[in-house]
Amino acid sequence: MLEDLYALQRLTSTRIARALGIDVKRVRSFFSYMRSVGVWIKPDIDHRALGWRRCLVVLRGILLDVSRLRGAPFIRSALLSIPPATILVIDSLNGYAHDCEDLGARAVCMDLVIRSRPDPRLLEMAIRRELRKLAETVPRYEPPIALTSVGRADWLDLEILRVLNRDPSMKLLELARELGRRPRTVETHTRHAERAITGYRVSKIRTLHGDECCNYIIIATSSNPLQAARALVAHPYVVGCGTTANTIVIHVALPMKHIHTFTKTLTNIANIEIEEAYIAPNTAKYVAYVGSTTTGEYSPKQGFLAKTLKQTLQKILSTQDS
């Protein structure tokens, strides 16, 4: 069923059951079982279909008080790393990322973000905690990628995505009760929201996210970033990949002791040349998930009302202790 979900553009367990021709209870029990073995499955949302562009901003040599970034409507997440840097993941509406380049930042505006869709055989290694073997294993397949058209989602579409991102096993009637709307209205808006998803992804693997794990952000060049990303997301250690014409951004979550082994595995899998790499412990308060989903936490209108990212960062820097 996991393989079916990877390719299925359906929201709510009711609509998934209809598409697969099975009982809705089986769908819900599948989500429940995967959670019981430490695997969380979430809708995979294409940010471009909502009118956003995902960007990674690296402020080299600057360690911001990231708690002060909370509430900025265009900043998705932040991470403090080694070597010293503040890494931001933002949804760019108006060129925010490039506004801070003169602060010494590197901004990578990604054309496409692909989230974790592990090969089930490798996923089983993760569940069994065969982590050394996993670090040395090269995936042999490329998961399908469904591209959606760019458009705009209204507030109810975004709210549906937000609720289902929290619990993707909900039935249509439960979703309607949660939102306080009529089931027919929710059904219509669910179809709208489905245009923004590319299927499902593995968003969290509990067995890999213990105290010994760290987050590893890699910026690399590749002759074919899209092909490299399609191979890399088949590995459970890879949380997500973002691509441009010749650059690939990779977010990896893995035990610290396996970083060297897995870095060699990465270059063998994807034929990439690493330019920059940043490590942060999993205890970081905010984590820069390259593949985090865009949900209904804010609207495009709120983003346009925000100050530019450069102004926000300059204000924090001017009042922060050295």
- Helix pair angle (155-166, 183-194), 10° resolution: 90
Contact 75, 119 (CB under 8 A): no
103 within a domain of the structure (yes/no):
yes
Which residue from 56, 51, 200, 48 is spatially nearest to 111, judged by alpha carbons? 48
- Kindly report, residue by residue over 169-227, the tens digit of the pLDDT: 999 999 999 999 999 999 999 988 888 888 898 988 888 876 578 889 999 999 989 88
Q: Which two tokens mark 86?
A: 């503040």
42 within a domain of the structure (yes/no):
no
Same-domain status, 58 and 9: no
Q: Quick one: what percent of the chain has pLDDT higher than 90?
A: 30
Q: Which two tokens mark 163?
A: 């609720």
Q: How many domains does the chain have?
A: 2
Question: In this predicted structure, what is the pLDDT of residue 178?
Answer: 93
41 within a domain of the structure (yes/no):
no
To 5 degrees, how large is the angle CA 44–CA 47–CA 51?
Answer: 150
Same-domain status, 299 and 188: no
Mean pLDDT rounded to a whole number for the chain = 81
Same-domain status, 191 and 214: no
Provide the sign of the torsion angle of the four alpha carbons 13, 19, 20, 22, taken in this order.
Answer: positive
69 within a domain of the structure (yes/no):
yes
Same-domain status, 170 and 275: no
Domain holding 182, by residue range, is 2-36+154-195
Same-domain status, 86 and 212: yes
Residue 29 main-chain phi, psi, to 5 deg = -70, -30
Same-domain status, 97 and 233: yes
- DSSP summary character for residue 246: S
Contacts of residue 310, defined as CB under 8 A and 6 or more positions apart, other chains included, come to 96, 99, 100, 102, 103
Contacts of residue 75, defined as CB under 8 A and 6 or more positions apart, other chains included, come to 69, 88, 89, 90, 309
122 within a domain of the structure (yes/no):
no
pTM of the model: 0.84
Question: In this predicted structure, what is the pLDDT of residue 97?
Answer: 61
Question: In this predicted structure, what is the pLDDT of residue 304?
Answer: 39
Which residue from 87, 32, 42, 18 is spatially nearest to 200, judged by alpha carbons? 42
Which residue from 23, 11, 2, 29 is spatially nearest to 198, judged by alpha carbons? 11
* Of residues 224 and 101, more confidently modeled: 224
Same-domain status, 222 and 303: yes
Question: In this predicted structure, what is the pLDDT of residue 292?
Answer: 40
Same-domain status, 105 and 219: yes
Same-domain status, 297 and 224: yes
Q: Which two tokens mark 63?
A: 């360690």
Contact 190, 18 (CB under 8 A): no
Q: Which helix (H) or strand (E) holds 265?
A: helix 259-270
- Kindly report, residue by residue over 289-298, the tens digit of the pLDDT: 444 433 334 3
Q: Which helix (H) or strand (E) holds 313?
A: helix 309-319
**CATH number of the domain residue 76 falls in:** 3.30.70
Same-domain status, 300 and 161: no
Which residue from 168, 160, 209, 163 is spatially nearest to 41, judged by alpha carbons? 168
91 within a domain of the structure (yes/no):
yes
Same-domain status, 283 and 312: yes
143 within a domain of the structure (yes/no):
no
Question: In this predicted structure, what is the pLDDT of residue 19?
Answer: 94
Which residue from 203, 271, 206 is spatially nearest to 233, judged by alpha carbons? 203
149 within a domain of the structure (yes/no):
no
Same-domain status, 175 and 297: no
- 96 has pLDDT over 90: no
